[in-house]
Amino acid sequence: MNNLYLRTIRLMLVSAIAFLAFLFIPAGTFHYWRGWVFWGTFMVLSVLVYGWMAIYDKELLERRLRAGPSAEKTREQKTLTAIGGPVVIVAFVMMVFDHRFGWSPAVPDWLSLVGDVLGVVGMLMYFIVIRENRFASSTVEVSQGQSVISTGPYSVVRHPMYAGAILFFIGAPLALGSWWGLVFLPLFVAAFAWRCLNEEKFLCANLPGYPEYMRKVRYRLVPYVW
């Protein structure tokens, strides 16, 4: 089997098992329907998206597999990525603990399902972005032959993938039944905002046409806001 496919399968399996552990070990039980719905939705969509890349765009899949601090090109992005991963894990564990021990008022079932829907929308935005931009790497870099993408979601905001990720992180606490999980949201938004600014500085210096694109598309994450 192609090495790229093996790496993708390994990533999916490791991600599925790790995500299960982060959700159900803190829950102290497998009788946690919110965790199952959230985990199942995320994993099904992830498999579909990575399966699409494996079939239709192997170069894009290779770029998406190169992730983590060691894959980043700048010191700032290495630092952000190294800190960001553990913080996300801690946030999910705290969300589950909140639901388990009742630290905050109960989240209504219907609102947890709304949180799942927000997560789905965030994942769908991710898919739309990678279909529109085959240079959408997991790291901040400029590949050979890369050009500025200004169509599709990139005609609305400069960083639509990060906008989708923020929707996902808004939905996650609700989906898992934790009001306290929303406390992490400003931290995630600040991290994405910082990454946007740092990425734009890099792209302006290394990708021809990007300064012109920034003048054309004014907003980074949310239209008419920022």
Q: What is the pLDDT of residues 34-68, one digit of tens each?
A: 999 999 999 999 999 999 998 888 888 888 887 77
Number of domains in the chain: 1
CATH of the domain at 109: 1.20.120.1630
Note whether 26 and 97 are within 8 A (CB): yes
Residue 15 within any structural domain of the chain: yes
Please list, in sequence order, all residues whose beta carbon lies within 8 angstroms of the beta carbon of residue 190, skipping any fewer than 6 positions away: none
Residue 226 within any structural domain of the chain: no
Residue in the block written with tokens 């993938």:
161
For the stretch 139-184, pLDDT in tens is: 777 777 778 888 989 999 999 999 999 999 999 999 999 999 999 9
For the stretch 69-79, pLDDT in tens is: 777 777 888 88
For the stretch 89-116, pLDDT in tens is: 999 999 999 999 999 999 999 999 999 9
Residue 76 within any structural domain of the chain: yes
Residue 221 within any structural domain of the chain: no
Residue 225 within any structural domain of the chain: no
User: What gap in Å lies between CA 79 and CA 221, rounded to an integer?
Assistant: 22
User: What gap in Å lies between CA 72 and CA 68, rounded to an integer?
Assistant: 7
Would the pTM count as exceeding 0.95? no
Residue 29 has pLDDT above 80, yes or no: yes
> For residue 36, what pLDDT is reported?
97
Mean pLDDT of the chain: 89
User: What gap in Å lies between CA 115 and CA 138, rounded to an integer?
Assistant: 25
User: What gap in Å lies between CA 90 and CA 219, rounded to an integer?
Assistant: 30
Residue 88 within any structural domain of the chain: yes
Residue 18 within any structural domain of the chain: yes
| Domain interval for residue 90 | 3-216
Q: Kindly report the CA angle at 7 between 66 and 25, in degrees rounded to 5? A: 90
For the stretch 177-214, pLDDT in tens is: 999 999 999 999 999 999 899 889 988 888 889 899 99
Q: How confident is the model at residue 20 (pLDDT cuts 50, 70, 90)?
A: very high
